[in-house]
Amino acid sequence: MDYEFFVDGKAHKISLEQGEGKLVATLNGIRIEPDIYRVSPRAVSLLVDGKAYLAYVAKHGAKTFVAIKSSRFCLEEPAQDSAAVRRQEGAADKADGTIKAPMPGLVIKVDVVEGSEVGPGDSLVVVEAMKMEHEMRAPFKATVEKVHVKAGQQVDTFQPLIELKPIQAERNQG
């Protein structure tokens, strides 16, 4: 699955895939197979090509701050209406309204129930994957038709999580 993000204001693309029980990342044409272990709520241990790194991570809104040794980075998600963010966060395709898991993970929170009305940007479900929380948000005004998951449930890539039915704006008659 392809992702887009900004590091200190510069756009980057990364491709992530699950291969033989490991995460495989391709960043700027370089293939990386890191071993990732959470050592605390704000620290992650990375093992890349036999070298160990301790990364401290803090998230604030759409920004994620990362410190590795003396290097500091600010990762920022593109604007909410970006197609890359909709793909990244598993947002619904307007054609079918199904919110799908962006990658294998654990559902840690479901913010809606069937019959709920949601607006663009409203939180629907949070999935923890790759030691990070991925919050899926409503891409448009909709009614929640079906909730397929519950907190504590493991999910696979592209597994349906929530089904939305778009609410069409009423047209003025006259």
Chain segment 30-58, per-residue pLDDT in tens: 888 888 888 887 888 888 888 998 988 88
User: Is the pLDDT score of 91 beyond 50?
Assistant: no
What's the confidence (pLDDT) of residue 59?
A: 77
Single pTM value for the model: 0.49
Are 99 and 89 in contact by the 8 Å Cβ rule? The answer is: no
pLDDT mean over 144-155: 94
Q: What pLDDT, on the 0 to 100 scale, is given for residue 68?
A: 87
Q: What is the predicted pLDDT for the residue at 77?
A: 60
What would the two tokens of residue 59 be? 């998230």
What is the location of CATH 2.40.50.100 in the chain? Answer: 83-166
φ/ψ of 85, rounded to 5, equals -65, -40
Q: Mean pLDDT over residues 76-95, rounded?
A: 46
The model's confidence at residue 144, banded by pLDDT at 50, 70 and 90, is very high
Taking residue 72's Cβ as centre, other Cβ atoms within 10 Å add up to 11
Please, where in the chain does CATH 3.30.700.30 lie? 2-76
Q: Which fold has domain 2-76?
A: Glycoprotein, Type 4 Pilin (3.30.700)
pLDDT of residue 44: 83
- State percent of the chain over pLDDT 70: 74
- Residue with token string 């593109």: 78
Distance of CA 141 to the CA centre of its chain: 20
Confidence of residue 94 (pLDDT cuts 50, 70, 90): very low
Average confidence (pLDDT) over 55-62: 77
User: First-to-last CA distance in the chain?
Assistant: 47
Tell me the fold of 83-166: OB fold (Dihydrolipoamide Acetyltransferase, E2P) (2.40.50)
